[in-house]
């Protein structure tokens, strides 16, 4: 029996976290299977003790909206062998980045909020900040695409053989 596990992290930035909800729902169907195959190194929605090191695959949901988020996503990239964007905000920056298209008057009217919460001038997708290896689109994420990407990395990292 193979005891190797895929070390994953699940990270969430500026978004509605609908894909995180879908992921936790997927655990209802796959927990017994994944418990044998996956080690959750970092996943705040499930664990209080998280580790940001030695991650095989980092799944990142949400757009990057501040300097602190930019620094954090760069740390994630540095400790992860693969990075996968999850959902529309991480992949394209939208809909979180709608404020990038605001006219000057609207932008001026929200500037106090941007300042108060130390937000960047522009909202960026994860690929605008770091290199990514895969993308799972959708709002929320496309469930079948996520399962396909997860299975791809289970195989790539030698955790299990492909399903036939």
For the residues of 104-145, what is the DSSP string, one character each?
Answer: HHHHHHHHHHHHHTTEEEEEE-GGGTS--SEEE-BTTB-HHH
Q: Domains, the chain, ranges and CATH?
A: 6-156 (3.40.50.700)
Confidence tier at 3 by pLDDT (50, 70, 90): confident
Confidence tier at 77 by pLDDT (50, 70, 90): very high
- Model pTM? 0.93
Q: How many residues does the chain have?
A: 164
Instruction: Provide the pairing of β-strand 119-124 with 64-66.
Output: antiparallel
Tokens of 28: 């209802």
Whether the bond between 55 and the residue before it is cis, its omega within 30 degrees of 0, is no
pLDDT exceeds cutoff 80 at 161: no
Measured N-to-C along each axis, helices 18-37 and 143-156 cross at an angle, to the nearest 10 degrees, of 30
Q: Which residues, in sequence order, are CB contacts of 98 under 8 Å at separation 6+?
A: none
pLDDT exceeds cutoff 90 at 2: no
SS3 call for 5: coil
- Mean pLDDT (the chain) is 94
Q: For 136-159, how does the pLDDT look when each residue is reduced to its tens digit (9 = 90+)?
A: 999 999 999 999 999 999 999 999
| Residue 89, pLDDT score | 96
Cα angle value 14/121/72 (rounded, 5°): 45
Q: Which residue is it, tokens 């580790």? A: 51
User: Distance between CA atoms of 133 and 149, rounded to whole angstroms?
Assistant: 10
């Amino acid at each position: 029996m193979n005891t190797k596990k895929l070390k994953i992290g699940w990270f969430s930035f500026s978004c509605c976290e609908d894909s995180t909800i879908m992921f936790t729902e997927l655990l209802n169907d796959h927990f017994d299977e994944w418990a044998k195959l996956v080690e959750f190194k970092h996943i705040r929605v499930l664990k209080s003790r998280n580790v940001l090191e030695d991650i095989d695959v980092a799944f990142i949901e949400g757009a990057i909206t501040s300097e602190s988020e930019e620094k954090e996503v760069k740390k994630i990239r540095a400790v992860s062998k693969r990075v996968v964007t999850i959902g529309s905000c991480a992949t394209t920056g939208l809909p979180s980045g709608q404020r990038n298209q605001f006219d000057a008057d609207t932008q001026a009217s929200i500037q106090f909020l941007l300042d108060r919460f130390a937000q960047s001038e522009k909202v960026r997708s994860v690929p605008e900040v770091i290199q990514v290896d895969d993308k799972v689109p959708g709002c929320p994420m496309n469930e079948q695409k996520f399962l396909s990407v997860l299975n791809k990395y289970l195989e790539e990292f030698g955790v299990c053989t492909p399903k036939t």
